[in-house]
Amino acid sequence: KQRHMKDAIGWYKKALDLKPDFGKAHTNLCRALLIEGQFDKASIACRRGLRYDPGDANLLKGLGESFIGMGKMEEGTAVLRRALAINEQDEPLRARLAELEASATGSGPGASSPPSHCGPLLLDAPRLPRTRVDEFAGLGQDCRHPTTVFW
């Protein structure tokens, strides 16, 4: 499975070499990098895509999740709020923000948050089964409290 993800990353990069403004390739590259636990590279991929389409809610979600994966909770939450402002009908994102805010205040279901290196542990993406990212990223047992990336 990991090999397939690395292949996918390579293909998305090649697609972007041929057509740098191909938004879906930026989004999918960001998703794949998040799955691999490469949060800094996912952040770069999302920022590059946002240069072509600053209002892309999916790229903003990826950027927000990459910040959270790097332990930058405030920045990540702020970017996720921007994505929700663009797509107000995104109920999974609304739930994700509620979870993050409960975690930040120390109340509610997300109050016991994972260590910051755990980052987003679940991915709900089209054409992919609900997949535990820690299986791909090789995260340790101390990441038992999954947070969710909703696309």
CA atoms within 13 A on the CB side of 86: 15
Q: What is the pLDDT of residues 87-109, one digit of tens each?
A: 999 999 999 999 998 888 776 55
pLDDT, mean over the chain? 76
Asked if the model's pLDDT at residue 111 lies above 80, the reply is no
What integer pLDDT is reported at residue 2 of this predicted model? Answer: 61
What is d(CA 49, CA 30) in angstroms, rounded to the nearest whole number?
Answer: 9
What integer pLDDT is reported at residue 107 of this predicted model? Answer: 62
What integer pLDDT is reported at residue 23 of this predicted model? Answer: 86
Q: What is the pTM of this model?
A: 0.69
**Among the listed residues 129, 30, 22, 144, the one whose alpha carbon sits nearest the alpha carbon of residue 83:** 30
Q: What is the pLDDT of residues 5-36, one digit of tens each?
A: 888 999 999 999 999 999 899 999 999 999 99
What integer pLDDT is reported at residue 45 of this predicted model? Answer: 95
What integer pLDDT is reported at residue 56 of this predicted model? Answer: 95
Q: What is the mean pLDDT of residues 103-130?
A: 47
- What is the Rg, in whole angstroms, of the alpha carbon atoms belonging to the chain? 15
Element housing 23 (H / E)? helix 23-35
Asked if the model's pLDDT at residue 73 lies above 60, the reply is yes
- % of the chain residues with pLDDT over 70: 69
